[in-house]
Amino acid sequence: MLDILATFGGWYDLPAHLSYLILAISFFVTNIYWLRILVIVSFLFEIVYFSMLTSYLWSGIAWDLVFVAINLYRLADLLRARRMVNLASGGHLLRTALPNMKDEGLAQLVALGEEWTLGEGEALTRQGEPAEAFFLIMEGRTRVEVDGVRVGAIGRGEFVGEISFLTGISATATVVADGPVRLIALNRDRLAQACRDNAEVSAVIHEVIGEALARKLVSANRRTVADVQAQAG
């Protein structure tokens, strides 16, 4: 062990080896929090090493301090976003409904979302009229009606208004509260802007819209088959 250390410069160079070892480990880390923490620790070891040298490496130390400051700033940003999501009403549900979205994207949605409450019988969307927003149901149940006929139900953790958001057409159904409902309304224009600004937000929103449409298509197919069988039998 001692021989190996001597080959690599002895105890004196240990902070440098630790610095580069931690930096190398950080290359494998995919969690952005740990990546930044490891990079900061790596540069701190390098600062220790540079200040142990007989001729202080001031330019190296100065650059290391810049890198530490940048990573601390970005880490603080990430923690601020996480805190914002955790403290927001509905933030936890947004996190569950959008499991592939990172905290910064979720914080953007929290900032553009509004919490709405509906009483029994109040309409969230009206067939043929523009849907105001893309909605995530936080609590309660809604019924979906087309031409006055009930075609489905949407509950906690599910989305409403994805067709209007995706295509820009008017609401294809009337969605009415079945009892008290609490929801998050994501303003359509601001959400579209967030999707244009942030590729990750766009990808995750379109992914959940795809899943929501698939689920609704499957249950609509089941209902159609049940109706046809009931008529035949």
Ligand X SMILES: Nc1ncnc2c1ncn2[C@@H]1O[C@@H]2COP(=O)(O)O[C@H]2[C@H]1O
Q: Which of 14, 35, 67, 152 binds ligand X (CB under 6 A)?
A: 152
Residue (of 41, 2, 52) closest to 18 by Cα position = 41
Question: What character string, x for contact with ligand X (CB under 6 A) and - otherwise, covers 162-201?
Answer: xxx------xxx-x--------------------------
Closest CB 143 distance from ligand X, rounded Å: 9
- Residue 90 found at the interface with ligand X (CB under 6 A): no
What span, in angstroms and rounded, lies between the C-alpha atoms of 176 and 118? 9
- Start-to-end CA distance of the chain, whole Å, equals 83
The runs of H, that is alpha helices, within 99-198 are 103-112, 162-167, 188-197
User: Distance from CA of residue 146 to its chain's centroid?
Assistant: 32
Distance between CA atoms of residues 182 and 162, nearest Å:
18
Q: Which stretch binds ligand X (CB under 6 A): 50-58, 89-97, 159-167, 224-232?
A: 159-167
Nearer to ligand X, 172 or 202 (CB): 172
The SS3 of residue 100 is coil
218 near ligand X, rule: CB under 6 A: no
* Backbone dihedral angles phi then psi of residue 161, each to the nearest 5 degrees: 95, 15
In the complex, least distance from residue 215 CB atom to ligand X, rounded to whole angstroms: 8
By CB under 6 A, the count of residues binding ligand X is 17
**Binding mask 103-132 vs ligand X (x if CB under 6 A, - otherwise)?**
----------------------x-----x-
Residue at shortest CB range from ligand X: 152
Q: Which is nearer to ligand X, 17 or 215 (CB)?
A: 215
The residue from 15, 105, 113, 161 that contacts ligand X (CB under 6 A) is 161
Residue 178: strand pairing partners: 141
CA distance 151 to 95: 28
The whole-angstrom separation of Cα 123 and Cα 117 is 11
Indicate whether 208 belongs to the interface with ligand X (CB under 6 A): no
List of residues contacting ligand X (CB under 6 A): 125, 131, 144, 151-152, 154, 160-164, 171-173, 175, 216, 220
